[in-house]
Every structure is written in structure tokens, then in C-alpha cells.
Amino acid sequence: MEKYQGWITIAIYFLLFVGIFYFFAVRPRKSQEKQHKALLESLKKGDKAVTIGGIKGTITRIKEDTVVMKVADNTEIEFLKRAIAYKTEDE
């Protein structure tokens, strides 16, 4: 049993490391993904939003995988839905 003592200790440390990694890295990321998915599903025409690139605009059309945003007078840009970072009340 003594010759396996080192391997048991290494295994315990490894499992402890995996557990800590899961609770500090994987779990919060899954929560963020769930919140972002809910945000994308709640988008509707007229919402003001900001893209991950920092472009602000008002959503004028929603397609299956994209949204069209009015960013200035007579200027509309089409973005992937996943590029929307958050909704805002500012213009």
C-alpha cells in the first residue's frame, strides 16, 4: 500500500484542481452563455442595443441569425445576432 501512497496523493490533488477549475472557470461561463442566449431571444424591433464592437443602434429588423440595426440616419448595418452584447436605453 505504501508504494501507491504517492499516486493516491497525486490523484487527490488532480481531482481537487479539476473541481476548483470547474467552479471558477466552467460554471460561470455556462451561466453567462445562458444569460446571453436569453438576451438574444428577447430582442425585438425598436430595441436599442450595443454590439461587441461597441456600435450602438436601434434594431429595425430581425432575421433568423442576424439583426439589422439603424446606426445613423439612412445607415443600417446587418450583424450576426451573437454580436449583440447588451440592450441599452441610451441612443
The tens place of each residue's pLDDT in the chain, 91 residues long, gives 566 788 888 999 999 999 999 889 888 899 999 999 999 999 999 999 999 999 999 999 999 999 999 999 999 999 999 999 999 986 5
74: left (phi over 0), alpha (psi -120 to 50) or beta: left
pLDDT at position 4: 73
Residues 47/12, Cβ–Cβ less than 8 Å: no
0.85 surpassed by pTM: no
